Amino acid sequence: MKISRQTAAIAAAAVGLGLVVTGCGPATKGGGGDKTGPTFQIAYNADGGHRAWVDAVANSISNTLGINASGAPDETFTAFRTAITDRTIKSAFRSGWQADYPRMSNFMLPLYYTGAGSNDGDYSSAEFDSLMDQANAAATDDEANALIRQAQEVLFKDLPAIPLWYQNTVGGWSTKVSNVEFNWKSVPVFEGITKAEGGAITAWGGEPQNPLIPTMTNEVNGGNILDILFAQLVYFDANGEVRNELAESIETEDSQLFTIKIKPNQVFANGEPINAAAFVDAWNYGALASNEHLSASFFEPIEGFSWEEDSDLKGKGLNIIDDLTFTIKLVAPQADFPLFLGYSAFAPLPASAFADIEAFGQNPIGNGPYKMAGPGAWEHDRQATLVPNENYKGDRQAKNEGITFKFYTDLNAAYTDLQANNLDVMHAMPETAFSTWETDLAGRMVNEPSAIFQSFTISQNLDHFKGEEGKLRRAAISMAIDREAITEKIFQGTRSPAQDFTSPVLPGWSGDIAGADVLQYNPEKAKQLWEEANKISQW
């Protein structure tokens, strides 16, 4: 197999660290001598440029603990995410989070709260849940952040996921486009990009995992499309500041009962009116237990929600007052609930959507700055074409003729197209380009901190990772990873070692949390903990 000079350079750097970049078969010797027992694997999607770091992490674990460890690639992101959702992966797997709204709770609730839609490792802790419930009900941000730090202390004891590093916004654009800006969560502000020669902007993307229904999407490929197809009550500007979009006002006296007034004369792309029913019916549908929508957990704070049975939120937590007014009643006060309303799960749906929701998911009718170009605009595994929505009246007006998301399964191919001006904007970089991309794209690239967190998840349901044995092994694995060396040699200034489970760019962040020493490279302690686990059950 041929190997590029850049890939060879990454491999050489990893060898220099003792983090040999290998294939995905188990190693048999090295670091700890002969290695016996099961292979510790980290599953990942091969189309996302993750192989070098997964192999480096696996080899750091292998060489420190003297066990077999390797990466386990899935061919595509869609296949990888489907395996996670279906719970068919029987190993550790790549995980992480790109923020939906700029609060630390967004990194906690979806990933680790019992039963949450993105809790892919099925973690459950009554202590963690209680602290997060208290944080939600806190009267001030300072009180909430203090409770979230306590919740993180619980996570450091249990390690449902192994924090690795914070990811910078890394992206670039062609010479054909101007006014390119990346927002606070590392995504291009697509509507603001201009193209002198006209035509649609071409943007890097990937095949969405699920139909394009707001409550059925919890991954970035579909999320990036939904974010510009739909408008919610509020949105976040490029700096992460919350702004009203469809909401005329959001009022509360107790942070438990909210009165929502919708701006008048708002319509969907097909001309249907945006009224109180458009929100209430959409949320109620997404919350129904029988529908099993991935973002149902976002509606859990609303009175009447149930995981066990279909429970109509209408007449309970959601009440329509008039055509443009409705109320939301929560189970308990939650001061930051209005921030949730900027998440795509809280988008409205036109009444016509419910006539055939499956067909709607293939050709959604939204109310955002863009709309689907027409039937067949989503060409599966190839691209999705969006055009400006002339019915949109909000602040995010499109300044171009449309966006075509091109679905790549190889980041290197996308980067080659970007350099050749065959792709206009890209918000990722292949690992093979890290040594050259800032020079290759001088004057048309960005490298700055963002709200993205990278980890890998180890389910507590896996053999050897249950109970006390599991806690010891997860701590040992975490301490066996040389994050400093990997981020320096492989990522070359585009990542920084994690100090917690969130992101330093968020308000109230702290890098001083009890238990965070488990993220420090400590080979001797890692071996000690591993042997303690072996006394419970031999690996």
Give the tens place of pLDDT for each residue, 245-263.
Answer: 999 999 999 999 999 999 9
| Inside any domain, residue 176 | no
pLDDT level of residue 218 (50, 70, 90 thresholds): confident
| 3 state DSSP class of 40 | strand
Residue 17 has pLDDT above 90, yes or no: no
pLDDT tens-place string over residues 387-434 = 999 999 999 999 999 999 999 999 999 999 999 999 999 999 998 898
Answer whether residue 333 is part of any domain.
yes
Same domain, 38 and 138: yes
Adjacent-strand bridge partners of 275: none
Assigned domain for 52 exists: yes
Residues 159 and 217 in one domain: no
pLDDT, tens digit, 9 for 90 and up, residues 378-392: 999 999 999 999 999
Q: What percent of the chain has pLDDT over 90?
A: 81
Decide if pLDDT at 27 tops 80: no
Report pLDDT digits (tens) over 58-71: 999 999 999 999 99
What is the pLDDT at residue 30? 37
Based on the domain organization, do 452 and 412 belong to the same domain?
no
Q: Which amino acid is at 497?
A: P
The rounded distance, in Å, linking the Cα atoms of 87 and 427 is 29
Is 321 found in the same domain as 263? yes
Closest CA relative to residue 370, chosen from 191, 213, 178, 179: 191
Domain termination site, one of 426, 460, 484 = 426
Let me know if residue 277 belongs to a domain: yes
Q: Among residues 168, 38, 160, 157, which one has the least CA distance to residue 98? A: 168
Q: What is the mean pLDDT of residues 221-238?
A: 96
- Tokens 């896996």, located at residue: 462
Please tell me whether residues 249 and 199 are part of one structural domain: yes
What CATH number does residue 76 fall under? 3.10.105
- 293 with 345, same domain: the answer is yes
**Residue that is last in its domain, among 393, 426, 459:** 426
Q: How far is Cα 28 from Cα 36, in angstroms, rounded to an integer?
A: 8
156-165, 322-331, 338-347: which has the minimum mean pLDDT? 338-347
Task: Choose the weakest-confidence range: 21-35, 323-337, 445-459.
Answer: 21-35
Q: Is residue 82's pLDDT more than 60?
A: yes
Residue 145 makes CB contacts below 8 A (sequence gap 6+) with: 104, 135, 507, 508, 510
The partner residues of 40 in beta bridges, in order of sequence, read: 69
Same structural domain, 264 and 160: no
CATH code for the domain of 306? 3.40.190.10
What integer best gives the mean pLDDT of the chain? 91
Residue 26: is its pLDDT beyond 70?
A: no
Q: Are residues 163 and 91 in the same domain?
A: yes
Q: Annotate 2-25 with b (16+ C-beta within 10 A) or e (fewer).
A: eeeebbeebbebbeebebbbbebe
Do 390 and 481 belong together in one domain? Answer: no
Evaluated on CA atoms 137, 139, 144, 146, the torsion sign reads: negative
The answer as to whether 264 is a domain residue is yes
User: Could you tell me if residue 435 is inside a domain?
Assistant: no
pLDDT for position 456: 97
pLDDT above 90: residue 291: yes
Q: How much is the pLDDT for 34?
A: 62
* 399, part of any domain: yes
Angle between helices 126-136 and 105-112 (to 10 degrees): 140
Last residue of a domain, one of 395, 426, 457: 426
Tell me the mean pLDDT in the region 481-487: 96
Q: Are residues 115 and 243 in the same domain?
A: no
Residues 310 and 402 in one domain: yes
The answer to whether the Cα torsion of 417, 420, 425, 428 is positive or negative is positive
Residue 448 corresponds to which tokens in the numbers above?
């700055």
The neighbouring-strand residues paired with 70 are 41
Structural domain count of the chain? 2
| Distance between CA atoms of residues 216 and 288, nearest Å | 12
Query: What's the domain range around 145?
Result: 5-167+448-536
Residue 419 belongs to some domain of the structure = yes
Does 267 share its domain with 360?
Answer: yes
pLDDT at 139: 77
CA distance 179 to 301: 39
